[in-house]
Structure 1
Amino acid sequence: MRTAVSASMSLFLAALLVTACADEAPTGTPPSTAATSTAGLSGSVSPSGSAGLFSATDIAWLQLTVAMNERLLPVLDMVPSRTTDPAWRTFAARLGTAHRADLSTARRLLAESGAPATNPHEGHDMPGMVTEQELTTLRSVTGVAFQRLADQHLRAHLRQAVRIATAEQRNGVYPATTALATEVVRAGNAELTRLDRLTP
């Protein structure tokens, strides 16, 4: 069972997903408005960056992106030892390379923002995150059984990543962060299409 998410993060996730679905949500919200809309939710400030200000939304999205990618990589890393399917191996290798690059970028942007280096989501099992119990189950199966379980986790991760990145696109303010979100949306949708072709 997934552990409870902190109240502040639950509110933040709700705010992200509501704004992601709002047709009227403007792109490039002024820093003061974006920071106010998530004030107190991420526990982060909006320090100066090289190209302007990071809003609370930018920082919270980056922190969540780091946490989600860190949880997914162990799944991708076990693919070569759990299945001999060449298509699955190729898919996992490509997705792993892309997620490591995104993780590196997100960590760099967090450092630029001045946000704490600690992971505020340590111990939280949120949508799109693979739990330790689920990793244990994945390690116990091989072949098609592994592929079916991995498909479920990868699909959940990619869908959630696209949803919150879409919210960041619409409500974030720091250019490099919203650019990363745009790439996450593009790549995530493309990988979901590829995953459809792999489903056994």
Structure 2
Amino acid sequence: MRRRPPPRPTANTRTRTRVPLLAGLIAGLALTAGCGAEPKPPPTPPPVVAAAPSEFGGTDLAWVEIMIPLDEQLLPVLDLVRTKAADQQLVALAGELHGVYDQELPRLRTLSDQAGLPKDNPHKGHKMPGLVDADRLATLRAGTGPEFERQAVATLREHLDQLKNLATSELANGISPTVKTIAQSVAQTRGDASARLPK
């Protein structure tokens, strides 16, 4: 009797496996300290070419899925820094990052659609490193003066370092050249930006 070939993964089977894969992606990260080349503005992220659904592995899917809310939920923080901070270098950095995220999010959403990931945010309301939740955003909105800047810098540093670490994990474990191209840009831009934050 001829054996039937194994069923091909569908969007539903990928969806059922993405949560444990995401947990492994985050849990496997080793926090690294930023160091020392001369700071430079983050470069423009590269364009995304169309990717075939079969191109994506579990790590790629988990990385794309977590990156979208990580980026989206930092944008209000960048807006607050640009309107409330007195440190003009910090204000300039927030403006540069906003531009990077504005270009990066459409690329991530395109990949999410190509991979058949759900439109809803499965991480809404979650607390995890680098993800700015409603409580932290409310604290920043209420802050003023040097205390606001201290909290904003701490929030940005945690976020930027986590995204660099997640990108490093994707580069080591992902299989999609398209996703890894974006991850390479994320690792560079977030590492450079973290090194430019006030100490």
The TM-score bracket by the shorter chain reads: 0.7 to 0.9
Q: How far apart are the structure 2 equivalents of 1:79 and 1:187?
A: 18
TM-score by length of 2: 0.74
Letter in 1 for 2:21: F
1:146 partner amino acid: F
Work out the CA distance in 2 between the residues paired with 1:19 and 1:130. 21
CA distance in 1 between partners of 2:21 and 2:54 (Å):
23
Q: How many residues align?
A: 163
Identical amino acids, percent of aligned pairs: 35
Long gaps (5+) in structure 2 = 1-17, 31-49
The code of the aligned residue for 1:12 comes to L
2:193 and 2:120 map into 1 onto residues whose CA distance is 29
Shift of 1:105: 1.2
Which residue in 1 is equivalent to 2:25?
16
Gaps of 5+ in 1: 1-7, 22-47
Match of 2:180? 178
Distance in 2 (alpha carbons) for counterparts of 1:149 and 1:121: 23
Contact 2:22/2:59 (CA < 8 Å) preserved in 1?
Answer: no
* Alpha-carbon offset, residue 66 of structure 1: 0.5
For 2:166, the equivalent position in structure 1 comes to: 164
Q: Which residues of 2 match residues 23-62 of structure 1 at below 5 A?
A: 49-50=51-52, 52-62=54-64
Aligned pairs for 1:100-111 within 5 A: 100-111=102-113
User: Residue 22 of structure 2 contacts residue 63 of structure 2 at CA under 8 Å; is this kept in 1?
Assistant: no
Q: Aligned with 1:120: secondary structure?
A: coil
Q: Which residue, out of 52, 76, 79, partners 2:78?
A: 76
What code does the residue aligned with 1:173 have?
I
- 1:20–1:169 distance in 2 versus 1, CA, 3 Å: farther
Partner of 2:40: none
Query: Per-residue CA shift, 1:126-153, capped at 9, x if unaligned?
Result: 1111121111111112222111001111
- Write the deviation string for residues 107-143 of structure 1: whole angstroms up to 9, x where unpaired: 1111111222111112212111112111111111222
Q: How many Å separate the matches in 2 of 1:81 and 1:20? A: 33
Pairwise CA distance, 1:186: 1.0
**Counterparts of 1:122 and 1:159, CA distance in 2:** 21
> Residue 189 of structure 1: which of 183, 188, 191 is its match?
191
Residue 90 of structure 1 aligns with which residue?
A: 92
Matched residues in 1 for 2:29 and 2:151: separation? 28
Bigger mean CA offset, 168-177 vs 139-148:
139-148
Q: CA deviation at 1:100?
A: 2.1
Aligned counterpart for 2:145 among listed residues 140, 143, 146: 143
SS of 2:74's equivalent in the other structure is: helix
